[in-house]
Amino acid sequence: MQTASFVPTIRSVGLNGLLVTFGERATDAANRAAIAFRAEVDSLAWPEIAESSSTLVSAFFRVDLAEHDFEGLRDRLNAVLASKDWTTTALPSNRTLWTIPAVFGGPRAPQLAEAAEAAGLSVAQAEAALTSTRLRVLTLGFAPGQPYLGTLGEEWNIPRQVGLSPNIPAGALVAAVRQICLFTKDTPTGWRHVGQSAFACFRPSSTTPFPLAPGDEVQFTAITDQELARIEAHNADGAGGALREVLE
């Protein structure tokens, strides 16, 4: 059953579907609940649900509410919600662990030192933290297949920059608010550029255009500029030298 302090909400999103929200702010518990609850509802294969997705704290179920009854679906979702404490529920099985090589610091990732200083760490300590922490794919968003990864230690609760960096390349690791975002494409950002990979988060010609999914885990490993250049020269599949392991 749900704990007294954990009260999810269900609301309609126009006539497009139902949004189940597990918290007012991004926390590990709320994100775990959103991912696990979405997987549970997906496993029930309700015919009314056309597709589902999850955010940092919510699960969305796309339903044509002009055709299907909102109150009935809300009651069924509430029954699933009441079946267990979703904040402590195990994440779905058959998730993927990705080990992704990346350069940290130097000309390919020029803001590592700045981010380390903001976190109160040396550059070596910052790199060690970024390569020793196994991060969860919290959600995908902003650009196709682009993951928000968390959660880093409290010292990484660093603010975004006041200004924007005008263009950070695809494959970049950028840091802010205890998260890493792995860029799908070149883009301006207020997050600090701390690492650079050759991992493609969006592969439109692949049978799996989005290789990462919420609940997957990512471990970064440090390589040199020369090693990254070799990977980039032979990266037709977009894997960027990453290793893939299915988690039971």
Res 43: pLDDT: 96
Which residues of the chain are modeled with pLDDT < 70?
Answer: 1-6
What superfamily does domain 95-247 belong to in CATH?
Answer: Cyclophilin-like (2.40.100.10)
Beta-ladder partners of 247: 95
CA 198, CA 100: separation in Å to the nearest integer? 9
Q: Where are the domains of the chain?
A: 9-81, 95-247
- Which pLDDT value is given to residue 4? 42
What is the model's pLDDT at position 112?
Answer: 98
- Tell me yes or no: is domain 9-81 CATH 3.40.1030.10: no
User: pLDDT tens digits, residue range 22-48?
Assistant: 999 889 999 999 999 999 999 999 999
In the prediction, which pLDDT does 127 show? Answer: 98
Residue 110's φ and ψ, nearest 5 degrees, are: -75, -5
Distances (CA, A) of 219 to 67, 71, 142, 180: 44, 42, 22, 11
Domains 9-81 and 95-247 share a fold: no
Phi-psi region of 215 (alpha: psi -120 to 50; beta: other; left: phi over 0): left
Quick: pLDDT tens for 75-115. 999 999 999 999 999 999 889 999 999 999 999 999 999 99
Given this model, what pLDDT does residue 248 score? 74
What was the pLDDT predicted at 187? 94
pLDDT at 5: 63
pLDDT at residue 94 in the model: 87
